[in-house]
Amino acid sequence: MDGMRGGTLIVRGHAGERFGDRMRRGTALVFGDAGAFAASRMVAGTIGIAGSVGEHLAYGMRRGSLILPNVRNVAATNRFVEIRAEVSVFWRLLTRSLAKEGGAFGDLAKWTPRRLAGDVSVDGRGEVFVVE
């Protein structure tokens, strides 16, 4: 089974459970909320969720980037660890490409994100950017 393999998907409302499950490439943005297991088993690509997220966020994530511009309750867990690496160049490039969609993604460039890496339970090298 394969997930999304490229392109851009824009959801102007809410997304249900398992949004972005097994995603392999491309960009998917949700302007509303996402249900449980969002970005689960993600292999690559970029997901942005502007609203709240359900439980088990990024469960089994191997690679890829998850951007959470308005989520305040994401903390380092036993599956994700906080990383203090320099990401300013990557962040500028990423936010420039997302800014054209507007909304919560329009002014990400003015923020410095917290970066969490994981899911370490599957030797994942994915990253979650929490903009606070």
Residue 92 has φ and ψ, to the nearest 5°, of -65, -45
Count up the domains in the chain and report the number.
1
The boundaries of the domain holding residue 126 are 5-130
Neighbouring residues of 38: CB distance < 8 A, sequence distance ≥ 6: 15, 17, 18, 19, 20, 47, 49, 53, 54, 57, 58
Average pLDDT over residues 93-115: 93
Per-residue confidence (pLDDT) for residue 79, from 0 to 100: 86
- Give the pLDDT confidence of 50-103 residue by residue, as tens digits: 999 998 999 999 999 999 998 766 766 678 888 988 999 999 999 999 999 999
- Give the pLDDT confidence of 6-54 residue by residue, as tens digits: 789 999 999 999 999 999 899 999 999 999 999 999 999 999 999 999 9
Higher pLDDT, residue 132 or 125: 125
Per-residue confidence (pLDDT) for residue 3, from 0 to 100: 64
Amino acid residing at 26: G
Per-residue confidence (pLDDT) for residue 129, from 0 to 100: 94
